[in-house]
Amino acid sequence: MEQHIRQAILAAAPELFGAPISESLIQFQITRKDVEGDLTLVVFPFVKLLRCSPQEAGEKLKTWIEANVPGVSHCIVINGFLNIVLTDAYWLAQLSQIQMSPNYGLAPQNSKPTVMVEYASPNTNKPLHLGHLRNIFLGASVAEILHAVGHKVVRTQVINDRGIHICKSMLAWEKFSPVNARGERETPANTGLKGDKLVGKYYVEFDKALQKEAKEIMAQWQSGNFSDTPEAIHHAVLNFEQAKQGKDEKACAAIDDKIKELAKNQTQILQEAKQMLVKWEARDPQVYLLWTTMNGWVYAGFDQTYAQMGVSFDKLYYESDTFLLGKDQVMEGLKNGVFYQKTDGSVWIDLTAEGLDEKLVLRSDGTAVYMTQDIGTAIDRFKDFPDLHGMVYTVGNEQDYHFKVLFLILQKLGYAWADNCFHLSYGMVDLPSGKMKSREGTVVDADDLMAEVIEKAKAMTQERGHLDGLNEVERDTLYAQIGLGGLKYYLLKVDPKKRMLFNPEESIDLTGNTGPFLQYAHARISTLLDKANYQPAPIAERVVLRPEEKEIVKQLAQFEVTLQEAAKGYSPALLANYTYELVKLYNTFYQSVKIVIEPDLEVRHLRLALSAAVKQVLAQSLSLLGVEAPSRM
């Protein structure tokens, strides 16, 4: 209706204002809850044109709109704002359109350009954890929402399968894996442990060994023994110690952390990991075989986890493939003056003119850094998908600066599509116990967390009953739907930009802004419609809408707009909270009127049609959030 009124005013502008007007003058706002109205037109932009007071301008617009815009019941002028009240017939027509449109709110498929959405993108040195879950559910939902508004979507992940962190797990497995009676080191096959968990175990073991060796080196430094320490490091440590003089406890702790980092870099185990990385890039047969084997364990583990999550990908990229292309681009850019080389052989780019800093793109030993890999990956993707219009990178906000630099480098390399690259930055997920740390093994494992919420959903559902007629397989399916639905919704209902605290207990609560609360509403409506044997049919025009019924139709009518806003802002939270408001309105309606037992058949049909429309939009919204909508709970 906003667009209809806007076009009507534009067409009648010479009559109303004496001359054509700019569309920007026609501004609508959401009507305040404490006043009557369905739409609010801001009058102030027209005061100068009409050469009168805001009240008089409002009265003139009121008279014209009431006489010329079908579907408008009446208007109310309030302090420079025009509240427009629409007729029941208009809202009933909206409801009829919804119930007769299976794809209500959705745009025609492939009506917009192709977009690639990257999410997950794990390292092959540890299992997926709670932080990955927010990333995966956010990226998967954004992909669904973009598809719903008409984009062709390519879902992808880049698997971080190379680098020093991968070598750390490999080296630790070589050093610390016990040998069984058959002379075999630990494998998923002989331990029964998922491959990603086994490899993650040795990533933690590496850090333990690193910390122990660094502690020993620091003890030697504290005793004045620098015999095995390079002179430059010796001087750096002494300078740090002198800098602690007169500093408070917090400042001293920060300086001690810097000394600890120097010690870590002097450890034998870290030097061995760095040597292993150089060997890997040189395709040393033994190192490459170990890398292939351990990565294979991890991929098998990831596949199990993704299957449980209900997410998938159209195309996989591996950093082990794309980093070479990135290195080629760096060398080409070096020739063209985009990059420069320091005396130690490392390659950099100077972005100080753009308000950033100098960025390393190739180490002095010739090995690639993350930036190198991301340059290669981006270029590779646009070669694979020539119709690709843009890319969405779902990556935590600690990488905000990285993506500013990446997009700027791609622009400087001459790739025009870099302007259509977007970093979907999101806040970290904390637990009541604090921040998670992968190296210390304090992360919440994704498999364990999913199992926990499913178990909690099982206990809650069994306590409530209502499981008659469901066999064991159906019950287990329902527990998973509720548990995973609660987990996904909890992580998606918060604005992606915000850091959040995760509480497993709250996620499966049947009250409040939770997934199970919405799922229960869907199940309740499904039961209601089945009981009434509802069949879609035209709604009688004479039916008068109650206020709570009208509010539901108004909310339903906002679905398409909300979906467009969620796509534009890459924010499933907008859709999640829209859906929560819809269900709250429906619950108020459900508690206040008769539906199945309503004696007036036309009113009964209206209320069933309204229930069916809510179920339709609710199911669609949940699907776009990756949440299943059970018919029974």
pLDDT digits (tens, 9 = 90+) for 58-71: 999 999 999 999 99
Residues 434 and 461 in one domain: no
> Tokens representing 385?
């998908």
The reply to whether 349 and 373 lie within a common domain is: yes
- Would the pLDDT of 320 be above 90? no
Query: Quick one: 286 and 322 in the same domain?
Result: no
**Residue 632: CB partners within 8 Å, gap ≥ 6?**
466, 470, 478, 523, 526, 527
Looking at this protein, which amino acid is placed at residue 490?
Y
Structure letter (DSSP) for residue 58: H
Amino acid at 384: D
Work out the mean pLDDT of the chain and round it to a whole number: 93
Q: What's the CATH code of the domain at 15?
A: 3.30.1360.70
Q: What is the mean pLDDT of residues 376-382?
A: 91
Mean pLDDT for 16-38 is: 92
Reported pTM: 0.89
Range of the domain at 21: 2-86
> For 23-37, 365-379, 392-406, which range has the lowest pLDDT when averaged over its residues?
365-379
**Is residue 95 one of the residues assigned to a domain?**
no
Domain boundary (400, 423, 444) is at 444
Residues 341 and 279 in one domain: no
Q: What pLDDT does 442 receive?
A: 54
Domain CATH for 388? 3.40.50.620
- How far is Cα 330 from Cα 337, in angstroms, rounded to an integer? 10
Q: Look at residue 307 in the predicted model and tell me its pLDDT.
A: 96
What would the pLDDT profile of 100-146 be if each residue is shown by its tens digit?
899 999 999 999 999 999 999 899 999 999 889 999 999 999 999 99
Q: Among 284, 310, 336, identify where a domain stops.
A: 310
Helix (H), strand (E), coil (C) string for 69-100:
CCCEEEEEEECCEEEEEECHHHHHHHHHHHHC
Residues 596 and 610 in one domain: yes
Beta bridge partners of 39: 84
260, 283: one domain: yes
Q: What is the pLDDT of residue 602?
A: 95
Rg for the chain, CA atoms, rounded: 31
Q: 469 falls in which pLDDT band (50, 70, 90)?
A: confident
Domain count of the fold of the chain = 4
- Which is nearest to 367 in space by CA: 330, 399, 393? 330
User: What does residue 233 show for φ and ψ, rounded to 5 degrees?
Assistant: -70, -40
What letter does residue 544 receive in the DSSP assignment? P
Look up residue 212 and give its two tokens.
Answer: 């122990």
Asked whether residue 141 is domain-assigned, the answer is: no
Residues 425 and 560 in one domain: no
C-beta atoms surrounding 588 within 10 Å? 13
Strands 151-159 and 112-118: parallel
pLDDT at 82 over 80: yes
Q: Residues with Cβ < 8 Å from 558, sequence gap 6 or more?
A: 578
Mean pLDDT of 164-169: 95
Residue 332 belongs to a domain: yes
Same domain, 296 and 341: no
Using the predicted structure, report yes or no on whether residue 438 has a pLDDT greater than 80: no
| The token pair that represents 397 in the structure block | 């906000």
Q: Same structural domain for residues 429 and 483?
A: no
Q: Which residue has the tokens 């690259």?
A: 421
For residue 368, the SS3 value is strand
- The rounded distance, in Å, linking the Cα atoms of 327 and 307 is 34
Please check whether residues 510 and 407 belong to one and the same domain: no
* CB atoms closer than 10 angstroms to residue 79: 9
Phi, psi of 595 (to 5 degrees): -120, -75
Nearest to 319 by CA among 270, 368, 265: 368
pLDDT value at residue 439: 46
pLDDT tens digit sequence for 492-535: 999 999 999 888 888 889 889 999 999 999 999 999 999 999 99
Q: Write down the pLDDT at residue 433.
A: 64
Q: Does residue 105 belong to any structural domain of this protein? A: no
Q: How far apart are CA 116 and CA 228, in angstroms?
A: 51
Distance CA 425, CA 412 (A): 23
Residue 436 pLDDT? 42
| Centroid of chain to Cα 293 | 31
Checking if the pLDDT of 454 tops 80, the result is yes
List, as one string, the DSSP characters of 467-504.
Answer: -TT--HHHHHHHHHHHHHHHHHHHHHSS-TTS-EE--H
* Residue 114 is assigned to a structural domain of this protein: no
Range scoring the smallest mean pLDDT among 91-95, 212-216, 429-433, 487-491: 429-433
Query: Is the pLDDT reported for residue 259 higher than 50?
Result: yes
The tens digit of pLDDT for each residue in 237-250 reads 999 999 999 999 99
**What does the pLDDT read at residue 319?**
85
Q: Is residue 107 included in any domain, yes or no?
A: no
Q: Is the dihedral of CA 408, 411, 413, 418 positive or negative?
A: positive
Vertex 392, ends 386 and 394: CA angle to 5°? Answer: 140
Alpha-carbon distance of 255 to 267, in angstroms, equals 19
Pick from 290, 277, 297: which is nearest to 363 by CA? Answer: 277
Distance CA 538, CA 4 (A): 24
Are residues 318 and 267 located together in one domain of the fold?
A: no
Is residue 153 in some structural domain? no
Helix, strand and coil percent figures for the chain, each rounded to 5: 60, 10, 30
Q: Residues 284, 423: one domain?
A: no
Report which of residues 485 and 465 the model is more confident about. 485
Quick check: 618 and 519 in contact, CB under 8 A? Answer: no
Tokens standing for residue 495: 């604005």
Specify the pLDDT at position 162. 87
Residue 288 — pLDDT band, cuts 50, 70, 90?
very high
d(CA 535, CA 605): 9
Please give the structure tokens belonging to residue 526. 């499904």
Residue range 391-400: average pLDDT? 96
Q: What's the pLDDT tens digit per position in 186-216?
A: 999 999 999 999 999 999 999 999 999 999 9
Type of residue found at 584: K
Query: Alpha-carbon distance 280 to 261, whole Å?
Result: 25
What is the rounded distance in angstroms from the CA atom of residue 188 to the CA atom of residue 199?
9
Q: Residue 286: inside a domain, yes or no?
A: yes
pLDDT, residue 441, reads 47
Q: What is the pLDDT of residue 613?
A: 97
- Out of 444, 473, 498, pick the residue that ends a domain: 444
Least confident of 238-242, 364-368, 475-479: 364-368
Over residues 578-624, the pLDDT tens digits come to 999 999 999 999 999 999 999 999 999 999 999 999 999 999 999 99
